[in-house]
Amino acid sequence: MLKGVNPKTSNISSVIKEGEGQKIEFKEGLSSLAPEMVAFANANGGRLYIGITDKGDVKPFSLTNRLKSQLQDTARHCDPPLQIKISGYNDGVIILEVPEGHDKPYRCKEGFFLRIGSTSQKLTRDEIIRLIHHAGKIRFDEMINEEFVYPHDFDDIEWQEFAKLAGYRSAMKAEDMLVNLGVAEMQEGHVLLTNAAILFFAKNPQRFYPEAKTTCLKYNGESRYDIADRREFGGTLLKQLNGAMAFFDRYNAKQIRITGSPRHEEWEDYPAVAIREGMINALIHRDYFYDSSHIYFHLYDSRLEIDNPGGLIKGLILTDLGSKAARRNRMLADLMQRAGYIENAGTGILRIREALKKNNNPPPEISAANFFSIRLTIRPKNLTEENLSDRQRRLMAFISQRGSVSKTECMDLLGLGSDTTLSELKMLIQKGLVRQTGKGKNTRYVL
């Protein structure tokens, strides 16, 4: 066995049977290796099986020290250089590991490539820009927009309101403060604003970024078929926030419970603080490079959804939300913090969860693909008890939506066994919130 080659090898026949894919590429020879290497490095990494034709026939290689040096030279001549390793040598097939790169984008002399499915595709100019953006090398909010003319396009009223919120002295010049804040630059006597400053202080931000707006819709029922109300909010980010919250307040019903205490209890369909945090999250974390859509606020009879372009920030997973802080648009987050709207500590999702729990709404449902989406379920109309578990809140919301449910449906909802689910239902019955109808297989639970 040659020195430097891992003795652990793959079953070549099973790999051939599996075929090429997102992380597997067959190469008959040594030509055009560099594009395949950078394609894997620009994606999620992969393996090159050198010595297998596209049809799955094996054409064995002799793995000499000279060949190993040739493979390493090919990787080193990529820009930036790639780290590769030979992870196996089986039946004359060389298995070359190409890990995901930490300094994207990578290129070779043939250009920039990206692994998409079973092929390595050469990237166009716009695709290269998107890859650079995805790698975090370019931040939209920190870019200078030379089309913005100061002070012609600058809204001094918006600035004064922001300065008041941030506690700045009114005697200070706006241009000096903008430079001090890092959201503007002074070049040859001209004030140049970043995109963050434009979204906060422009007279008409949509002139520069037409999709930087928020659309709010109210539906009759649970689908988007019957639109009862629609409002579109442009202007600065704070104007969009205030507009969306005013739209929400119009439909957010209040419930009052008279108790023996001097003050009555007031409940809402949705806690306003949770909606505010959700909208702020959308406004400062959306992907503003994505110019084919904007923020949507959907209000149905029994649920509410906030969608904004851009999935999770690179390096985060869904379980990190509420415990780890990461910002797609650092300047926007900083300005929102200075205005007193956020703490900039990554606690927005945590605040949403806590507000829902306190109001006796079920926990939020969060998904993140090309869009980041938060779904909230309405608080059941007759729910007056505070001491409910998350399971019981979910059951109450589920029964409220369906009208009546079976124990099996509740088991599927909670992902629990029969005894535990039945115990939760009995607790709701004891609290006077749910009642049982029918017997045997016909048993149903209603509010």
At 74, list the tokens.
């090919």
Asked whether residue 20 carries a pLDDT value surpassing 50, the answer given is yes
Q: Scanning the structure block, which residue is given the tokens 């505070």?
A: 386
Non-local CB neighbours of 137 within 8 Å, separated by 6+ positions? 104
Q: Are residues 275 and 342 in the same domain?
A: yes
Number of domains in the chain: 4
Tell whether 91 and 230 lie within a shared domain: no
Interval 27-45 mean pLDDT: 91
* Helix (H), strand (E) at residue 405: strand 404-405
Cα–Cα distance between 182 and 28 in angstroms, integer?
54
Domain boundary among 173, 208, 243: 208
Mean pLDDT across the chain: 86
Q: Answer yes or no: do 241 and 353 share one domain.
A: yes
Out of 377, 401, 426, a domain closes at 377
Residue 7, in any domain of the structure: no
What DSSP state is assigned to residue 286?
A: S
Give the domain CATH number at 406.
Answer: 1.10.10.10
Return the exposure string of 233-245: e unless at least 16 CB atoms fall within 10 Å of the residue's CB, then b. bbbbbbbbbebbb
Instruction: Give yes or no: residues 165 and 302 share one domain.
Output: no
Does any domain span residue 1? no
Q: What is the DSSP string of 49-112?
A: EETB-TTS-B------HHHHHHHHHHHHTSBSPP--EEEEEETTEEEEEEPPPSS---EETTEE
Which two structure tokens, joined as six digits, stand for 203?
């007279």
Q: Which of 134, 159, 185 is the last residue of a domain?
A: 134
CA 384 to CA 402: how far, in whole Å?
19
Residues 100 and 182 in one domain: no
pLDDT for 258: 46
- pLDDT of 45-68, one tens digit each? 999 999 998 888 899 888 899 999
Q: How far apart are alpha carbons 10 and 14 in whole angstroms?
A: 8
**pLDDT greater than 50 at residue 69:** yes
Instruction: Quote the tokens at residue 344.
Output: 């900039």
* Same domain assignment for residues 405 and 257: no
Asked if residue 382 belongs to a domain, the reply is no
Which range has the worst mean pLDDT, 69-78, 273-282, 298-307, 358-367?
358-367
Where do the DSSP E strands lie in 227-292?
227-233, 254-257, 265-268
pLDDT bracket for residue 264 (50, 70, 90) = low
Q: State the CATH number of the domain containing residue 96.
A: 3.30.950
The answer to whether residue 3 is domain-embedded is: no
Please report, as a single letter, which amino acid is at residue 424: E
- Asked if 145 and 193 count as a contact pair (C-beta separation under 8 A), the reply is yes
Whether residues 99 and 172 share a domain: the answer is: no
Q: What is the mean pLDDT of residues 365-394?
A: 79
171 part of a folded domain: yes
User: So what's the pLDDT on residue 1?
Assistant: 32
User: What token pair was written down for 441?
Assistant: 């297989």
* 289 and 323 assigned to the same domain: yes
Lowest-confidence pick of 184-193, 218-227, 432-441 = 432-441
Contact 415, 408 (CB under 8 A): no
Containing H/E element for 201?
Answer: helix 195-201
CATH number where 255 lies: 3.30.565.60
Q: How far, in Å, CA of 11 to CA of 49, rounded?
A: 12
Instruction: Looking at the structure, tell me whether residues 224 and 200 fall in a common domain.
Output: no
Q: What is the mean pLDDT of residues 14-30?
A: 87
Residue 104 inside a domain? The answer is yes
Domain residue limits at 16? 12-134
Q: Do 98 and 191 share a domain, yes or no?
A: no
pLDDT digits (tens, 9 = 90+) for 121-160: 999 887 887 777 776 667 889 899 999 999 999 999 999 9
- My answer on whether 64 and 37 are in the same domain is yes
pLDDT tens digits, one per residue of 398-436: 887 788 899 999 999 889 898 899 999 988 888 778 889
Contacts of range 6-15, beta carbons closer than 8 Å, 24 or more positions apart:
6/86, 6/87, 6/88, 8/87, 8/88, 9/88, 9/89, 9/90, 9/95, 10/88, 10/90, 10/95, 11/90, 12/49, 12/52, 12/58, 12/90, 12/91, 12/93, 15/49, 15/52
Cα–Cα dist 362/342, whole Å: 24
Residues 256 and 348 in one domain: yes
